[in-house]
Amino acid sequence: MPAGSFRHGVASGEPGLTSVALWTRVTTSEATVPLRWVIAPDVAGDDGRASAATSPPSIEGVRTGTVVASYTDDHTVTVAVEGLSPGVRYRYHFEATDGSISPKGFTRTVPADAGGYRIGFTCCSRYGLGWFTAYRMLATEDCDLVVHLGDYIYEDATVWIPERQPDPGHEAQTLGDYRRRHAHHRLDLDLQALHRAAPMVALWDDHDVNNQSPEGDDLAARQRRADGQQAWREWLPLVTGRGEPIDRLVSVPGLVDIVTIDARYTGREPHHRAGPRPEPPQHLRILSDDQWLWLERTMAASSAPWRVLANQVHVGPMRLGSVPSVVRRGMRPIVNPDQWDGYPAERRRLFEILGGSGPTLLTSGDLHSTWSRRLSDDDGQPVAHEVTVPSVSGESYAFAFRRLTRLPVRFLDRVIRSLNDGIDFLDLHRHGYVVVDVGRDQLDVTAVLLDTVLEPTTGAERLRLASLTP
């Protein structure tokens, strides 16, 4: 194994009060490679920024351990490090027996008593359609945690920028294909910078396997889904094994409970028709019984001033028009059933949970646009505020609409605003990311929207989307 074998950098994830997960990958022809990991408080601010860590006697010093990178896991490793101190910024790296040393990464444990906590939200990075500039910018935001809302990779091989050729050059179908796609994404320096800067909690979405998944229950579809999800688990800093839930709770005592829940694969019953259509009358499931039970208990047990609930897809109603109904009197709305609009009974159940909880911010991705809106139940009672996060480089909603319909995007903007209540902000064009600053008495939501993703360097606009109070 030659020097410089840590080509895909390092990452951390799933922070707790006294724990964090560390990740790396070794490029090698050997079946197994022994590695040593090293983690220590970053009291010196080794990356040139002021460190959030102090150095009281209670903070432990350097800790080390060993792990083996194996071909069975694509030579990726994830280590759960326990016994750390709350609210401390750490630096870490990996070492190989030949003397190779990985890049240095920085991570943070959850504070036991914090007056503020910063969360970055991102999603939908399509390699061939644009540069990952949003990742590079988000890496400089000094986040305590980054939440990735899915479509970390795209299964297809579409190219708009000649310098951004995906590998493999065909649509991913097999475990080897998905592993190659992840490996190629992780060579991107902007993505590596984001992973070095802060711990990440991630959700998968359909393009991490196949567009509009789950797409059926035949043997080939099940195998493809298993392969895509296996590669995703290998390449993200997760400590859970195959088949275990990816729903998560990151609790910052006395401040915020951050809940991520999988609305794409675990319990979702698929629609058999994609694209806008009249609102489905059937009561399909988007979460499993176990997920509902976990979510209800988690939200009911929360005593923090704030809750942040993250899932992959847009929760609020998104009406695109209406048609006469032959089933019931009046008009039937046109919706996108891929979102929670396709699961109206499930959304009512979610709104009942949120209505019985404290102040909640919903975050979602997948729509490749930026939304800020107030959500209310069928009786008009407010239940939550939802922010939909723009894509890193996935085709914007505006571009897709114009490409498919040839209609002006300003028409779509007017239709959405006129048919859907509570929208404070809507941008269907730009890419970017969202930062949420949680304080005890206020929660602020900021969007950073890029001028372009067609060039690696670009300007951006910083916009305050919402300032919420309990």
292 and 441 co-located in one domain: yes
pLDDT-based confidence at residue 53 (cuts at 50, 70, 90): very low
- Strands 432-439, 443-450: pairing is antiparallel
Query: Could you give the number of structural domains in the chain?
Result: 2
User: What percent of the chain shows pLDDT beyond 70?
Assistant: 94
Residue 240: φ, ψ to 5° = -85, 150
Return the pLDDT at 324: 80
Q: Say which CATH number the domain at 70 has.
A: 2.60.40.380
Do 374 and 266 lie in a common domain?
A: yes
In 253-324, DSSP assigns E strands to 256-260, 277-278, 306-310, 321-324
* Together in a domain, 8 and 155: no
> Of all helices (H) and strands (E), which one includes residue 8?
none
pLDDT band for 255, please (50, 70, 90 cuts): very high
Region of 305 please: left (phi>0), alpha (psi -120 to 50) or beta: alpha
Are residues 77 and 169 located together in one domain of the fold?
no
Do residues 400 and 428 lie in contact, with contact meaning Cβ atoms separated by under 8 Å?
A: no
Amino acid at 341: D
If DSSP states are collapsed to H, E and C, what string results for 111-176? CCCCCEEEEEEECCCCHHHCCCHHHHHHHCCCCCEEEECCCCCCCCCCCCCCCCCCCCCCCCCCHH
Question: pLDDT band for position 54 (50/70/90)?
Answer: very low
Same domain, 398 and 280: yes
* Contact residues for 220 (Cβ-Cβ < 8 A; gap 6+): none
Q: What is the mean pLDDT of residues 343-363?
A: 95
C-beta separation of 100 from 126 below 8 A: no
pLDDT score of 57 more than 60: no
Q: Quote the CA–CA distance of 197 and 118 in Å, as a whole number.
A: 13
Q: Tell me, what's the pLDDT at 409?
A: 82
Strand-pairing partners, residue 89, are 108
Task: Check whether 61 has a pLDDT greater than 90.
Answer: no
Q: How confident is the model at residue 48 (pLDDT cuts 50, 70, 90)?
A: very low
Which token pair is 94?
Answer: 């990996």
Residue 325 has pLDDT above 80, yes or no: no
Instruction: Identify whether residues 42 and 29 lie together within a single domain.
Output: yes
453 and 429 assigned to the same domain: yes
Q: Read off the amino acid at residue 428.
A: L
368-378: per-residue pLDDT in tens?
999 999 999 99
Higher pLDDT residue, 45 or 319?
319
Mean pLDDT to the nearest integer, 275-301? 91
Strand 256-260 vs strand 306-310: parallel, antiparallel, or unpaired? parallel
**pLDDT class of 50 with cuts at 50, 70, 90:** very low
Return the DSSP state at 421: T
Encode pLDDT of 71-84 as tens digits. 999 999 999 999 99
Does one domain contain both 370 and 444? yes
Domain hosting 361: range is 113-468
User: Which residues lie below 8 Å from residue 33, measured CB to CB, with a gap of 6+?
Assistant: 1, 26, 68, 69, 75, 96, 97
In 188-337, beta strands by DSSP E: 200-202, 248-252, 256-260, 277-278, 306-310, 321-324, 331-335
Looking at the fold, whether 343 and 366 belong to one and the same domain comes out as yes
Give the pLDDT score at 4: 53
Burial class (CB in 10 A: 0-12, 13-18, 19+), 141: middle
| Of 275, 287, 286, the residue nearest 337 (C-alpha) | 275
Q: Which two tokens stand for residue 381?
A: 């009672």
End position of a domain, from candidates 77, 109, 141: 109
Provide the pLDDT confidence category of residue 283 given band limits of 50, 70 and 90: confident
Q: 192 pLDDT exceeds 60?
A: yes
Reported as type and span, the H/E element at residue 32 is strand 32-41
Residue 460's DSSP bridge partners are 450
Q: What is the pLDDT of residue 321?
A: 86
Distance CA 265, CA 247 (A): 11
Measured distance CA(22)–CA(138) in Å, rounded: 20
> In angstroms, rounded to a whole number, what is the distance separating the alpha carbons of residues 17 and 401?
44
168-177, 226-235, 281-290: segment of lowest average pLDDT: 281-290
* Amino acid identity, position 408: P
Read off φ and ψ for residue 321, nearest 5 degrees.
Answer: 155, -165
206 has a pLDDT exceeding 80 = yes
**Do residues 81 and 65 touch, judged by C-beta distance below 8 A?**
yes
Average model confidence (pLDDT) for the chain?
92
Q: Is the pLDDT assigned to residue 355 strictly greater than 50? A: yes
Task: Give the three-state DSSP class for 405.
Answer: helix
pTM of the model: 0.95
**What's the average model confidence in pLDDT over 109-123?**
97
Domain edge (last residue) among 54, 81, 109: 109
**pLDDT 10s digits, 9-33:** 999 999 999 999 999 999 999 999 9
Kindly state whether residues 27 and 122 are assigned to the same domain.
Answer: no
Note the pLDDT tens digit of each residue in 153-166: 999 999 999 999 99
What phi and psi, each to the nearest 5 degrees, are found at residue 351? -65, -35
In 3D space, the residue among 397, 405, 445 whose CA is nearest the CA of residue 425 turns out to be 445
Residue 49 has pLDDT above 90, yes or no: no
Full strand arrangement of the beta sheet holding 32-41: 63-70, 32-41, 89-96, 105-108
Both 61 and 145 in one domain: the answer is: no
Give 404's pLDDT tier (boundaries 50, 70, 90): confident
What confidence category does residue 328 fall into, taking pLDDT thresholds of 50, 70 and 90? low
pLDDT tens for residues 298-320?
999 999 999 999 999 999 999 98
Does residue 99 surpass a pLDDT of 80? yes
Q: So what's the pLDDT on residue 52?
A: 43
For 268, the 3-state DSSP assignment is coil
pLDDT reading at 282 higher than 80: no
Three-state secondary-structure class, residue 219: helix
Among the candidates 78, 109, 140, a domain finishes at: 109
pLDDT of residue 22: 98
Confidence of residue 434 (pLDDT cuts 50, 70, 90): very high
* CATH number, position 309: 3.60.21.70
* Interval 262-281: pLDDT, tens: 999 999 998 877 778 888 77
Average pLDDT over residues 314-338: 83
pLDDT at 33: 96
Q: Are 442 and 468 in contact (CB under 8 A)?
A: yes
| Distance (Å, whole) CA 64 – CA 62 | 7
